[in-house]
Amino acid sequence: MQSFTYERAASAEQAAAAVADRPDAKFISGGTNLLDLMKLEIERPAHLVDVSRLPLNRIEETAEGGLRIGAQVRNSDLAADQRVRSRYPMLSQALLAGASGQIRNKASTSGNLLQRTRCPYFYDRNMPCNKREPGAGCAAFQGFNRMHAVLGASEACIAVHPSDMAVAMSGLDARIETISPGGETRTIPIGDFHRLPGAMPHVETVLGHGEMIAAVTLPLPPPGRQVYRKVRDRASYAFALVSVAAIVEKSGDRVQSARIAMGGVAAKPWRATEAERMLAGAAASNGAFTDAAEAALDGAIGHGGNDFKIPLAKRTMRHTLAAAVESA
C-alpha cells in the first residue's frame, strides 16, 4: 500500500472539486473494496476524499411515487428499509444476498455500484490484466475463468461486475444522479452507467473524474411480483455464478409485462430486453419461459471454465420466471 493523504469532505460540491483537482485522487466511502485494492497496490490513489459523512444518507419519497436513495445509505440500511422491503422486495433480497453482514454495514450505495471486478488475475499484480494495466493482456481469457462473463465481453477483458444490488436496480430501471465539480448535476439511467469492456476495460463507467454519485432514484415500482435469485458456490458470502432479477406482471394466464436483469454474466448488470419483449403477452408457461431464457442467452460465449454459466443462466431464468408468476 502506498502512502496517501486524506481529507473529509464538507459538502458534495467540495468533495467533487477536491477529487477533480487531482488526477490521483479518489472518493472513499465504506472502503470495503477500495482499501483491499489499495493494500495490494491495485489501486494507488495518492489522495482520498472521504464522502461517507456527507448528508447523503437518507431514503426519501419522490414526487412520482418512487424512492430517492442517498449515495451514502449503507447496504444494510437500504435492505432493511420498510418501503424498500414492501415496494422493491427484489432490491432488498439482492442486497441481503451480497457480501456479509459486516461488509453490508459499511458498504455504501454508490460504492456498491462502483465496486470492481473480483477476477483473480485483476487481483494479482504479477499477472497480465488489461483492466489494471491497459495493453498488458488478459490472463483470464485462456486461464481460470470459471467466474467470468459470457455476455458482452471482449478479447481484452472477460471480467464480470460482482454487484447483486446493481442487478436488482437494473431490473427496477434505477437512475443515478451525479454531481460534478462545478455543482452541475446529471441523471444517468443505470443501463447506461456501466460500460462494456471493448478495447478499454479499465474504463468501467461513464462517470468523469471528480463526478460523484449523489443518489439513486427508483421509479414507481412496476406491477408484478419481484424475485431475485442468486446461484452461488456456497450458501452465503460468495459472488454470483449467475443471478436473475425478475418482475413479472400476470394477467389471467398470460404475462402482461416482464423485466429481467442478470448478474454474474457480464461486466454490467445485463438487461434481457429481447426476453422481456417475447414474454409480453405470451402464455405464462414453461415453454414461454424456456424460449425467453434461450433468447436471453442468445450470443453468449463461454471461455472454457465458464461454459456452464450459459445453461445455468437459462435454467435459473426459467425457474425464476416461473417462481415470479406462481404467486403473482
Partner 1 sequence: MTETKTSENRPTETRNGVIGRPIDRIDAPLKVRGDATYAYENALDGTAYGYILGAAVAKGRIAEIDTDEAEGAPAVLLVMTHRNAPAQPDFGPAVTPTVREVFTRARPVLNSERVRYYDEPVALVVAETFEAARAAAGLIRVRYDEEPGLYDLPARVADAYAPKRTNAGFETDSVVGDFESAFAAAPVKIDATYRTPFEHHNPMEPHATLAAWSGNELTIHTSAQTLANFRAGVASTLRIPPERVRIVSPFIGGGFGSKLIAHADTILAALAAQVLQRPVKIALTRQQMFANAGHRAEMIQQVRLGADTDGRLNGIAHDVWSATSSFEEYCEQTAVFARSLYAAPNRLTRHRLVPLDINRGEWMRSPGEAPGMLAFECAMDELAERLGLDPIELRIRNEPTRDPERGVPFSTRNLVACMEDGARRFGWERRNPTPGRTREGRKLIGHGMAAAIRPNYIGAATARVAIDRDGRVTARLDMTDIGTGSYTILTQIAAEGLGVPISSVKVELGDSRFPRTAGSGGSWGAASAGSALHNACNALKERILEAARSSEASPLRGANATEASFADSEVRVGQRSASLADLIRRIAPDGFEAEGSVAAGAATESYKAYSQHSYGAHFAEVAVDCDTGEIRMRRMLAVMGAGRILNVKTARSQIIGGMTWGIGAALMEQTVLDPRHGHFVNHDLAEYHVPINGDVPEMEVVFLEEHDDKANPFGAKGLGELGVCGAGAAVANAIYNATGVRVREFPITLDKVLPALPVIAI
Contact call for residue 1 and partner 1 (CB under 8 A): yes
User: Looking at this protein, which amino acid is placed at residue 285?
Assistant: S
Contact call for residue 3 and partner 1 (CB under 8 A): yes
Contact call for residue 133 and partner 1 (CB under 8 A): no
**Toward partner 1, which CB reaches closer, 112 or 180?**
112
Contact assessment for residue 87 and residue 67, using Cβ atoms and an 8 Å cutoff: yes
> Could you say which residues in the range 285-314 bind partner 1, by CB under 8 A?
286, 289, 308, 311-312
Contact assessment for residue 92 and residue 79, using Cβ atoms and an 8 Å cutoff: yes
Contact assessment for residue 325 and residue 250, using Cβ atoms and an 8 Å cutoff: yes
Residue 36 C-beta: closest distance to partner 1, Å: 9
Contact call for residue 196 and partner 1 (CB under 8 A): no
Task: Please identify which residue in 118, 202, 225, 254 interacts with partner 1, judged by CB under 8 A.
Answer: 118
Closest CA to 9 of 46, 47, 41: 47
Contact call for residue 122 and partner 1 (CB under 8 A): no
Output the CA–CA distances (angstroms, integers) from residue 74 to 11, 179, 299, in the order listed: 18, 19, 36
Question: What's the CA gap between 305 and 146, in Å, rounded?
Answer: 4
CB count within 10 Å of CB 192 equals 12
Contact call for residue 232 and partner 1 (CB under 8 A): yes
**Toward partner 1, which CB reaches closer, 87 or 229?**
229
Contact assessment for residue 239 and residue 123, using Cβ atoms and an 8 Å cutoff: no
Per-residue contact track with partner 1, 12 to 51, x per CB under 8 A?
Answer: ---------------------------xxx----------
Q: By CB under 8 A, which span of 118-126, 153-161, 202-210, 274-282 interacts with partner 1?
A: 118-126
Q: By CB under 8 A, which span of 65-73, 79-87, 129-137, 233-241 interacts with partner 1?
A: 233-241
Question: What's the CA gap between 298 and 151, in Å, rounded?
Answer: 9
Plot region of 280 (φ>0 → left; ψ -120 to 50 → alpha; else → beta): beta
Q: Which residues bind partner 1 (CB under 8 A)?
A: 1-3, 39-41, 118, 120-121, 123-127, 139, 142-144, 146, 231-239, 241, 286, 289, 308, 311-312, 315-316, 318-319, 322
